[in-house]
Chains A and B, each alone.
Chain A
Amino acid sequence: MRKNWIGIPALMILLLLPSLSVAQGVDEILTPVAGEQLEEPDPGLDVPGIVTVLDKDNDAGDQLVVSFEPPENTAGVFAYNVYRRVAGAEGEDSWTLAEIIPVIEPTEFIDGFDPEFPIEPGVLYEYRIASATLDGEEFFGPVFEAGAVSVGEIYHTGKTRILIASLLFILLIFYYFGRAQRGIKMYMRPIAGIEAIDEAIGRATEMGKPILYVPGISSIADVATIASLTILGRVAKKIALYQTPLIVPNRDPIVFTVAEEVVKQAYLEAGRPDAYDPDSVFFLTTSQFAYVAGVNGMMMREKPATNFYLGMFYAESLLLAETGSLSGAIQIAGTDAVTQLPFFITTCDYTLIGEELYAASAYLGREPKQIGALKGQDACKGIIMGFITLALIFGIIDVVANTHILDWLRALVTSPIIE
């Protein structure tokens, strides 16, 4: 028992000794050693070097190409803040933050691209670039005066190939205009959808039911809408002859005014101005799905015998065409919206695919100039087909003979989409 009493204090001393030494160690860390200076903070980040400014080609005089030498040591640099001001301006407030470039990105950018900080043509600017830390602290480099001012060009040299191609196509179309006007007969391949228009109008007349014409839901700025309105004129003329009721609901108010004029004129040309119903062409709504609801309601109530969907369509294409299909109408659709074509093909009796929509007016009118334009279009496609065939041959030669002729052709005829 006595032996135990000696053992307990001894154990306590043994436990206390290491804890005292740990506590002393902590004190050494927390208490500054007298007479020893704290380490100096980092004097700053390395800053970017020389800034080079060049005028950007093929612009409106509102862009400059700015590049700068990155710092040798990028440790701690999060981004480069590029500041710009008009040369000669004074004061810290005169600087505008033109661009923030993350450190991992190239040190060249186009200034003036952001419309909030525009570059004025002919104005000389100064630049200074700061290395910025993640906390937003900036370390500025020297101020550099731009070596160039921005000047607008009067011709975009990057578009020369487009200009040549456009001129060639325009000339071809005019050449065929001329041929058509000289009375030279030109073959036009039959398009089932266009040939079915007469049949569809006749069917509605026989059934004594109206014809629904939807000119798409896009604005008048869309070429497909304009093409649709020209077809509407031709279709309305035939409808006027048969005195079949016509319904033309519109989504765009400008399209509505043009469509109204087109239909009125068609009735006049057909010699039936009295048969024109001012309520046949009307504005419905600008809201996409409200428009669909309105047109679908008409389909189910009025039960038109024929539905035309010609123009530009989006998500509503299937909603319209499927309702029309359920109502039992014969349906002719036409659009250049590639994504909507499958919906029309599956639900409509006839579909005008892409360019056929533009060709329909010429087919229905059979005027020489219209046919000439159509043949001009075909000639343009012939040229493209020629280039595709050449590319195919050159591609095979490249593979077989290990040459690079295809690259040459590619460089000759293609233009970068984004410069």
Chain B
Amino acid sequence: MKRTVPLMIVMVGGILMILQYFIPHQISQTIFAYYTDWTPIILAFALVLGVGSLTRIHSHKIRRKSKNWQYSWAVLIPLYLMPVLAHIWPGSLSGGMDSPSIFHFIFMHVQVPIQATMFSLLAFYIASAAFRAFRAKSALATVLLLSAIIVMLGQVPIGELLGKWFPQTGLWILRYPNLAAKRAIMLGVGFGMLATNLKIIFGVERNWLGGAGK
């Protein structure tokens, strides 16, 4: 029962979704909308479980005084403080989410800069990854290096100054060899998705069920 019910739900739901794609009728669309409407509801409940997991792990760390346990306070305090500031803290004491409020101030001056910092690290990581990738250790790596130089120079004005063929060759590399490889990968991905979905719908793949799968 523990295994059959989820498998049946997945099978019926999966087949319905396949049929729905070929049936444009209003009833079909309504069923589709009905199914998809469940997603945010499930997500809301799962979020409670997620927050519970985070709280459990970090409270364990604090209780056991595990290595770097102090950082757990930095997770738990904002995790519970921010909703309180947004929804419970009185508006007369700068509560709420709209500016000016404590929540808004913390969000704009702590969260946003931290996220921007993380994202901006990407520029440095791209440089170091590119350095590693473009070392001409083999014939194939040399081809990669040359292609990259042509494509990069083709994208910037100095490339056109160096030679008219730079942008043209760069564009050719992007449009033909690169696009062909991309399409081949995407075709494979498409079939992979199809096979995985079929395996799940027809119960061949059950690992996702966890304990109910066996």
A interface list, Cβ under 8 A from B: 58-62, 121, 152-156, 159, 162-163, 166, 169-170, 173, 177, 219, 221, 223, 226-227, 229-230, 233-234, 250, 252-254, 256-258, 260-262, 264-265, 268-269, 278-279, 281-290, 292-293, 301, 315, 318-319, 321-323, 325, 336, 338, 341-343, 345-347, 353-355, 357-359, 361, 369-370, 373-374, 376-377, 380-381, 384
Contact = CB atoms under 8 A, between A and B. Distances in A.
B128 A153 contact: no
9 contacts: A156-B24, A166-B18, A226-B200, A257-B50, A258-B210, A278-B56, A290-B111, A293-B114, A355-B185
A343 B210 contact: no
A111 B169 CA distance: 45
A359 B39 contact: no
A265 B22 contact: no
B193 interface: yes
B189 A354 contact: yes
Interface in B172-187: 182, 185-187
B16 interface: no
A159 B20 CA distance: 12
Nearest to B67: A301
Nearest to B25: A152
- The 9 A-B residue pairs whose C-beta atoms are closest, nearest first, are A261-B210, A358-B192, A253-B50, A355-B188, A283-B50, A346-B133, A355-B192, A253-B46, A289-B118
A301 B119 contact: no
A60 B29 contact: yes
A287 B211 CA distance: 29
Interface in B53-67: 53-54, 56-57, 60, 67
Contacts of A256: 46, 49-50, 53
Given A223-B192, A253-B46, A361-B205, 12 more contacts: A152-B24, A154-B24, A159-B22, A177-B204, A261-B211, A264-B210, A265-B214, A319-B118, A325-B132, A355-B192, A374-B195, A377-B192
Given A253-B43, A257-B46, A347-B132, A315 B210 contact: no
Contacts of B129: 318, 321-322, 343, 346-347
A381 B187 CA distance: 8
Contact of B188 (A155, A346, A381): A381
A354 B128 contact: no
A346 B132 contact: yes
Given A60-B25, A60-B28, A355-B188, A282 B54 contact: yes
B211 A301 contact: no
Contact of B122 (A219, A318, A336): A318
With most chain B CB atoms within 10 A of its CB, the pick from A221, A283, A284, A321 is: A283
Q: Is the interface of B mostly helix, strand, loop or mixed?
A: helix
A118 to B, nearest CB: 11
Interface string B121-134: 11001101110110
Contact of A230 (B18, B187, B205): B205
B115 interface: yes
B119 A289 contact: yes
B142 interface: no
B130 A346 contact: yes
Interface of B: 18, 21-29, 39, 42-43, 46-51, 53-54, 56-57, 60, 67-68, 111, 114-115, 118-119, 121-122, 125-126, 128-130, 132-133, 182, 185-189, 191-200, 204-205, 207-214
A380 B94 CA distance: 61
A384 B209 CA distance: 33
Contact of B25 (A153, A261, A345): A153
A170 B182 CA distance: 24
Contact of B211 (A227, A265, A319, A361): A265
Contact of A229 (B26, B128, B208): B208
Contacts of A229: 207-208
A341 B193 contact: no
B94 to A, nearest CB: 23
Nearest to B119: A289
Contacts of B189: 336, 338, 354-355, 358
A292 B204 CA distance: 34
Contacts of B214: 265, 269
A153 B24 contact: yes
A288 B27 CA distance: 37
A58 B24 contact: yes
B193 A154 contact: no
A350 to B, nearest CB: 15
A342 B126 CA distance: 11
A373 B204 contact: yes
A322 B125 contact: yes
Nearest to A374: B195
Contacts of A336: 185, 189, 192-193
A370 B186 CA distance: 21
Contacts of A262: 207-208, 210
With most chain B CB atoms within 10 A of its CB, the pick from A156, A358, A380 is: A358
